[in-house]
Each structure stands twice: as structure tokens, then as C-alpha cells.
Chains A and B, each alone.
Chain A
Amino acid sequence: MAEQVEREHMDFDVVIVGAGPSGLAAACRLMQQANEAERELSVCVVEKGSEVGAHILSGAIFEPRALDELFPDWAERGAPLNTPAIRDEVYLLKDDSSARKLPNALVPKTMHNVGTPGAESGRNYVISAGNLCRWLGEQAEELGVETFPGFAAQEVLYDEGGTVRGIITGDMGVGADGEPKDGYMPGMELRAKYTLFAEGARGHLGKRLIERFDLAKGRDPQHYAIGFKELWDVPAERHEPGLVLHGSGWPLDKETHGGFFLYHGENQQVMVGLIVDLAYSNPYLSPFDEFQRLKHHPLLKQYLEGGSRVAYGARAITKGGINCLPKMTFPGGLLIGCDAGTLNFAKIKGLHTAMKSGLVAAETVFEAIQGGDEGGQELTSFTTRWERSWAYRELREAANFGPAIHKYGTVMGGAYNFIDQWLGGKLPAVHDTTPDHAKLEQAAQGRKIDYPKPDGKLSFDKPSSVFLSNTNHEEDQPSHLRLKDPAVPIRDNLPTFDEPAQRYCPVGVYEVIEGDDGQPKFQINFQNCIHCKTCDIKDPAQNIEWVAPEGGGGPNYPNM
């Protein structure tokens, strides 16, 4: 249908897909250079969330290195970095009631957030990544960037030669039956000399670009995790701004990797979360329920008890690191940030490296355009610049972190990482060549897990959780969660894996219910989708395809 529609178009020098840390950093840097060179430059950012920050969810501990480069005066500009990390604590949870605190000397150096006492250097901040993006969005607007929240990039725009020439925004006002409704508005072509794809982890266009241009050739398959986060108002006496807790162990079993975080931020709030590696094998595992029961551990409960949960969300994390990092260049565009996979899993941080990839992209693109480039080239100089950057160096040193944990487990892998990091990434390379979706064992081998019922105080069910993500989609539109073969969930996944979508989806989008005929039926409640992309990653049949819904749909995360 896309071919037949005569679409309106707009032309820009640069189109950026996604108003996250990397996209906005790139937008700001492009404009800074243009303003400095007194050159007109049109830069447009499209964002599927209803506003900048609406779909942003991250821990987050923020290392300000890239921000220092972008806006050395960020403090004067009011960047929302208000809570310096003051104390790191790392724990191993042995069971549901005991925890062992790791002596500081044994904590991997990448997990240090406090920095040198008295010095600015090395100090990280407990922040809301959503609010950082809101602020970056304001800076971008002031610099002259056109930001369009509520507009999803639905398709990549290619020319006859297969070069990327921009994107096509999603149609608005299409009914569930696929027919135009009152107020139908066809998507537009946003044409650009260069297009930067910065959709975040498992972007649906990024995924297609990687396939089309074979960007992952010679790399390990990408690896992912799902990260949960809740924001809590806590009583004043339990709040210690700047306190940073990390840990692993219970409630995850030995075969399932991951770890928790609990950060004390501003406004008497605590952010608590669990990251579960999506390479898990037990089809009965429910990451959501693991997170809910985690909060009952005395170590976490001591901060949350008496408080109230104010926000909930989840998002996939691209965690493969440098072994899995695809080629980031192709004719007419670049793939940046978590859309490519620039997160440093050893630091459990990706904001700074994502932003740095955006800065490098902006510098490369601006140089080309300034030199008279009319667009559509493959900017190979990006790769050179990127590989010379501190961000790339960081990723190289952390190369073995993730694979070592996959291979040796959280504890032994952690020890390996500890040694490896002190050696600066000199241990022999470890690779994990099985994609996450292929790790799932059959239900017959799986272990059923009897999760405790949520108590409504520390732990909650999925409906009351999605309620706190402020999620909404226009109901009368086609589902944006597409099944390549609608028969697969009931015919294959149900008998083989007890349809794990029922459990890995953090908001209960997927259900197996009894149909009219008494037979099981696969139900997709797409209105609840918080755009975490886990289904696209973990479905063992790779049968679920996440595409962008009508712009403005999805969660409305405040302060996440």
C-alpha cells in the first residue's frame, strides 16, 4: 500500500529517529556546529512518544563525560543532574533473607560511581534519564532543531539504488480494520541528506537496516536484557540521596543472570529495578514476578516499606557490547546509541556512550555536509572517528564482561570480569554465539515457578503496574504487534514452551485464553504495550514483529 499512496514530503539536511540521549545529543551537536560555522542547517527529530521523555526509561546512574563535551556549562543551563552518587554498595543476595556485602576492593572498578573524594572527576549522578532527555530536547529546540513528538518513523525511505534517503512517518487515523477513519492522515516522507537512527534497543527500523545492509556480519548475535524500574516515594528517614545499591543473586536462579539496582534520587524518591538477562532458559520464568518478589528482600524492603510506588516501566537493554556491535554506517545514514548497541554492560551504563556516539555522528555528518556532500554516501569516516573515541575504548575494555557471565555464571563470570578489568580487557576473548531467543528450553525440561501472590504493598500485579506507566494507545487501530504466522503461538509455542509471551511480557499484553469453542486462543492486548520490545527479542519462533503504532501511543513515563 505504501507504494501507491502519493505522500507529501519535507526536506531536511538531517533527520534523526528518536529523541533519546543519542539522537538529541546528535541534534544539539549538529546545530552547535552549524551555528558556529554560521551555516543554515535543517535538523528534524521524530519521536514516537507523546512528548520528549515519554518513552525514556533508565536506571539511571549517569556519567557526565559526553554531556561535559556537549554542554560544558550544563550546570548553568539547568541540566537535571541534581544528585551526585555518594556511596556505592554491592551485594550478593544469597536467599530471600540474607545478603553479603562485597568489600569495596572486590567490586569491579567499572561499578564505582563516587569518584575521588573532593574531586569532580569520576563523579556520577543519580538521574532520571527521561528528565535529562526533556532538558536536552529544550536545548535542541533553542538551538533550532525541529522536534516532532507524537510522530513515529514507520518505514525507511530508500531510493532506487537502495540508499537511505530519510524516513516515512506512520499513517494516523487508520482503523482496526485497516481502513482510514475520519481524520485519516497519511504519513509523510521526511527526506534527508543523512538519517540517524537512534531508536534505542531493538529499534524496529534499526533491525531492518541491520538485516538489509548485513551490518552484523562477522559479529556475535546481539544480546539483550529486560530492565524493570519502579519509582517510589519513601519516608524521609529511609531516604539517603546519592546512595547507590547494586547486587545479584536471589531471586534469580543460577542459570538466570541479572542484577538489581536501588538508587536514592531527588524528591525523596528511590528508583528500584531488576535487570534480567534475556538469555534465560526456563520458559516458566517470569521476569516481572522475579522483580516483584525481589522487593521483599530485607535489603530492599528496608528502603521501600512505608513508601508508595508512583511509577512503573520496563525496557529491553542492548547489552552485547563490542563483540555484538554491528557496523554503524550504511549509504545515507548511521545507526547510533542502543539502536546499534553502544551500552557498556560492565558499567551498567549506556547513556554516556550513546550520547558520545551521537556526538561523533553529528561531527561526521556536519563535516560531510559542510564539505558540499549532497547526502546518500556511506560515511565510513564515522567508523574511524568512533573507534578513536573514549567510548569505543571503554567498550573494548569491557568486551568480555557479558559473554563471561553467560559462560561462567554471575559469580564466576563476575570474578573473571573483576580480573579482566584490572588488566584492562587483556584476558582472552569470550564469545556467546547463541541468540537469546534460541536459549529457551522446552517446557518439559523447564521448572515451574510458584511465585508468591503480590501483597499490594511492596509487590503488585501486572494490571496495576501498567496503570502506573500511563500507557495508552488509540484503540481503533491495527495491532502494532504483528504475528508473521498467527498459528504459531497456539500450534507451536504453547505445547513446546507453554507460550512464554504470557510471562516475559512485563505488562500482560499476551494472554492465552479460552476461546468460544473451548480451545485456547492467543490474545494480544496491544493497548497495554509499553514498547519494551522484549517480545520481538525473546519469542522462540521469532514470530512476533514489533512495529510502531500510531504516534503518541505507548507509555507516558514521568521522571523515569
Chain B
Amino acid sequence: MKVLVAVKRVIDYNVKIRVKADHSDVDLTNVKMAMNPFCEIAVEEAVRLKEKGIASEIVAVTVGPKAAQEQLRTALALGADRAIHVATDERVESLAVAKLLKRVADEEQPQLVILGKQAIDTDNNQTGQMLAALTGWGQGTFASKVDVKDGTVDVTREIDGGLQTVALKLPAVVTTDLRLNEPRYAKLPDIMKAKKKPLDTKTPEELGVDIASKVSLLQAEAPAERKGGIKVGSVDELLDKLKNEAKVIS
């Protein structure tokens, strides 16, 4: 079966972000960018499915600027067979990404689409669910285990307080959580080979998707700095404050 994997170029998780002086957005000038960590897990899961003989082809797809091809090349180096770059320099919200991915899925007809559960820049946690809605497929979000069977997939999900396993009819959408797998490192020869693997570029216009968003970013600001509170003199006073003032214990 064919597996489609969506990846996103985001700021590297080690890099501290800072808000632009005019508060219009976060400053990303010359900061290190990387593949979203949850997307790395998605690629790894697809590669493992291929190694097990379950997946026959892995197609990596991204939506973003030209530089995002770097992340597609990474996916190719890790084991994807070919890549699709939906090129745009616009800010694309989750719904528009889901619509673009829906069109790619229409063309590619994958049995499984794997995405990260969220991107570490906008922290939306929406795209996989939205893609599932638009395709009319089942969704296995926050996956910590993926078990493909004949015509179905069992997905174990990390839910508040535990794990839930659901069975989804294929084709289906899976979004990855941190414990699904430990992504591998790309090997040097594979990085070189990845440069020669096919990479198609499409535009949102070609896919017939209007990416304009109804949600506007009015401003970005640094979180309010916490101010120090009070010093308490004893354990009793502390408990009293927690019970009666902060009301966080009872």
C-alpha cells in the first residue's frame, strides 16, 4: 500500500524564539530550521511500515516556501521514495493545509496518511483531524502504536490518563505522538541519494485550493513575565494560602 507522509519545516526545537520588535510575528531571520519533530516520527513510522513489507511506496509532502524542500530531502534521505512540494510563501493555516493535502491524497490515493500530531511553531494540533474530515476517513490521533491489518489499522492513542486503541477502516489518517518510535539518523550515502530522488513542485492554484485564511494574526507578544509573589513563614501558612487564596488544593 501507498503511504503519504506530511512534513513541516519549523524552527529547530533547540532555538529560543523571540517576538519581532513590532509584535507582528516571531522573528525567524537566520534561525536554524528543521523538520518538525512529530513529522520526523511520522516519516520513521512510514519507513518502518515499508521495511516490514506493509508499505510499498512512501510519498512525502510539504506545504511551504522553497526552503522547505530541505525537509523533503531529509524525508527522502530517511527513506521516502518521492516528494511533493506544494509551494507557497504565504502563511497557511491548518484548514488550508488540510485542503491541499486532501487534493494530493485525491491524486495519490494512499491507504494511509501519517502526520505529526502538531507542529511546534503554531502548536495547533489540527491538520490531521481536518484532513480526515475532508477525506471522510477515520482518524487515529496521538498514536503511540500503529498496527496495520487487512483493510484496517489499529491505532493506540495517548489520551488523558491512559491509552485507547481504535480500529480504523483503511484508508485512514494517523497523527503521531512522541512515543510512537525513535526516529533514525539519516546516513550520508542516503543524503546524497536523496538529492536524486524525484521531487515534484505544485502550487495551491494548480491544486485548485484557495489558501486565504479567515483567521488573522493580530499580534504576537512575549508571555507576561511572572512576578514574584510572597514569602510565607511556615508550612501552615503555605497550606492556608494554597487552600483559601489560590484554591488549588482542597
Contacts and interface: CB of A to CB of B under 8 A. Distances in A.
Contacts of B244: none
B220 interface: no
Given A233-B21, A470-B14, A471-B14, A558 B30 contact: yes
Contacts of A467: 16
Interface string A305-331: 000001000000000000000000000
Interface stretch (B96-104, B138-146, B186-194, B211-219): B186-194
B182 interface: yes
B15 interface: yes
A267 B12 contact: no
A151 B188 contact: yes
A146 interface: yes
Nearest to A146: B192
B29 A183 contact: no
B184 A8 contact: no
Contacts of A559: 29-30
Contacts of A54: 32
B204 interface: no
A457 to B, nearest CB: 13
B214 to A, nearest CB: 33
Interface string B152-193: 000000000000000000000000000000111101110110
A51 B32 contact: yes
A556 B32 contact: yes
Name the interface size band of chain A: 20 to 34
B31 interface: yes
A182 interface: yes
B241 interface: no
A134 B32 contact: no
A131 B188 CA distance: 25
B18 interface: yes
A10 B188 contact: yes
Contact of A556 (B12, B18, B187, B191): B12
A556 B29 contact: no
A182 B30 contact: no
Nearest to A555: B14
A556 B21 contact: no
Interface string A468-483: 1011100000000000
A85 to B, nearest CB: 21
Interface in A157-206: 169, 172-173, 181-183, 185, 188, 190
Nearest to B195: A146
A472 B13 CA distance: 10
Contacts of A233: 21
A184 to B, nearest CB: 9
A14 to B, nearest CB: 15
A168 B12 CA distance: 27
Interface string B3-28: 00000000010111010010000000
A545 B26 CA distance: 39
A182 B182 contact: yes
B182 A183 contact: yes
B12 A50 contact: yes
Interface string A540-558: 0000000000000000101
Interface string B31-52: 1101000000000000000000
A556 B182 contact: no
Interface string A107-151: 000000000000000000000101100100000000000101001
A470 B16 contact: yes
A470 B31 CA distance: 10
A556 B187 CA distance: 22
B185 A183 contact: yes
B30 A468 contact: no
B1 to A, nearest CB: 25
A137 to B, nearest CB: 12
Contacts of A471: 14
Nearest to A468: B16
Most buried by A among B29, B187, B188, B189: B188
Contact of B15 (A10, A172, A470): A470
Q: Which 5 A-B pairs have the closest CB atoms?
A: A472-B14, A172-B185, A470-B15, A556-B32, A558-B31
25 contacts: A8-B187, A8-B189, A10-B188, A50-B14, A50-B32, A53-B30, A134-B30, A146-B192, A148-B188, A151-B188, A173-B185, A183-B183, A185-B187, A190-B188, A233-B21, A267-B29, A470-B16, A471-B14, A472-B14, A556-B12, A556-B15, A556-B31, A556-B32, A558-B15, A558-B30
Given A183-B182, A183-B183, A185-B184, 17 more contacts: A8-B189, A10-B192, A50-B14, A148-B188, A172-B185, A173-B185, A183-B184, A183-B185, A185-B187, A267-B29, A268-B21, A310-B18, A467-B16, A470-B12, A470-B14, A472-B14, A556-B31
Interface of B: 12, 14-16, 18, 21, 29-32, 34, 182-185, 187-189, 191-192
